[in-house]
Chains A and B, each alone.
Chain A
Amino acid sequence: MNTKNDLIARMMDDMQEDLIVFIKDNVDSFVKWDLIRFFYENPHTIDSVENIARYTGRSPGAVQGELAELATHGLLEENKVGRMAVYALSSDPKVRQQIADFIQASNDPKFRPKIIFHLLKGMKA
């Protein structure tokens, strides 16, 4: 980490560097966290914004932008099926492993509060 004065950095300094980078680059909202978990648990999901919103108990407006950003970052694949934007989990094994590592860390009582703190500190929602 760059600065020892950074509280987040100090809190997260016992986490693997790759994991910290993954979180900082990709997980800047609780909605994204939910979506990543959803696709991790249901890795062969292929569906539209409206249906993914329904599956995750959110509104389409809440997930639309987040899905698009996750696709831009390479965690999801976005395809146009007719007029619909359809999302699926990236088929890249490396990306899937990063997601698995993140979910595993987020289930760890030691790391979970740190991820939550990171989100509360830096994020949009």
Chain B
Amino acid sequence: MNQRVNTGVPGLDKMLNGGLLPQTSNLVEGAPGCGKSTLGMQFIYEGTQKGEPGIILTFEEFPQQYYRDAATYGWDFKKLEREGLLRVIMSSPEVSKADLERVNGTIEKMIDAIHAKRILVDSISQFERMSEDPVVLRNLIYSFLNSLKRKGLTTMLTRESSYLWGESDTEEELDSGLSFVVDSYITLRYVEIDSTVNRAIIVMKIRGSAHDTRIFQFDIGAQGMEVGKPFEGQEGILSGAPTRMAESFIKAFVKR
């Protein structure tokens, strides 16, 4: 089995058959506020604890926001920056892409300075303002991701869904081209069950590896993201409003 890069969320690592593959691009897509950035910060923090320094490349939030959010989980990002294990870089897609493409650019120097092994790009959605042409956009992102791979980084990208609840047009999301250029694709969803809002996580794909295809519950707790049990006895989870499966179907197909 290939060496794996732990995400910092043991339950997600199990779903991924051990973790992410090194030097790959991994997309985390989901509705606003459902935990994409938390997962991303957890991925970066995990690296710092294992001697794998990390970069957070933010296109939206100010670095102060990451320091504050991380502190709520007990992760001292300012201290990690002082120790040379982390850099929170604020930039824009057009500048960071152009900077990474040139020799010895500013971002490349920062990556080299801390010997970074991981990077969180939060969020790749901002690239969409660079072109309305999906082919051009796909090529822009492909080139950007390759510049990160060239530096030996394992990349986690976040992408915001345009919907809050339920089913995105998954096929449409995949066909936008991003799924072809990333190595794994993880989706986070809000779902309503018995008048309660739950969170769901599913690994849609991981290139070159088996993965758990079940839909799992997850929560954001005091330690960050925690993956719980798989949803059972319901269908239509991805629609956001699942229904209970027929009892006979449960008896026939669902392991107790």
| Residues of chain A having any CB pair with chain B under 8 Å | 41-42, 44-48, 51, 55, 77, 79, 81-82, 84, 86, 88
Contacts and interface: CB of A to CB of B under 8 A. Distances in A.
Residue from B62, B91, B102 whose CB has the most chain A CB atoms within 10 Å: B91
Interface stretch (B82-90, B148-156, B210-218, B224-232): B82-90
Interface residues of B, number: 19
B139 interface: no
A46 B62 contact: no
8 contacts: A42-B63, A42-B64, A46-B89, A51-B91, A79-B99, A79-B106, A81-B98, A86-B99
A60 to B, nearest CB: 13
Interface in B84-113: 87-92, 94-96, 98-99, 102, 105-107, 110
Contact of B94 (A44, A48, A55, A88): A48
A30 to B, nearest CB: 20
A99 B62 CA distance: 19
A81 B89 contact: no
Contacts of B90: 42, 44-47, 55
A46 B106 contact: yes
Contact of B95 (A41, A48, A77): A48
A82 B64 CA distance: 29
Contacts of B95: 46-48, 51, 81, 84, 86
Nearest to B56: A44
A8 B92 CA distance: 41
A86 B92 CA distance: 11
A82 B130 CA distance: 15
Interface in B58-76: 62-64
A45 B89 contact: yes
B92 A82 contact: no
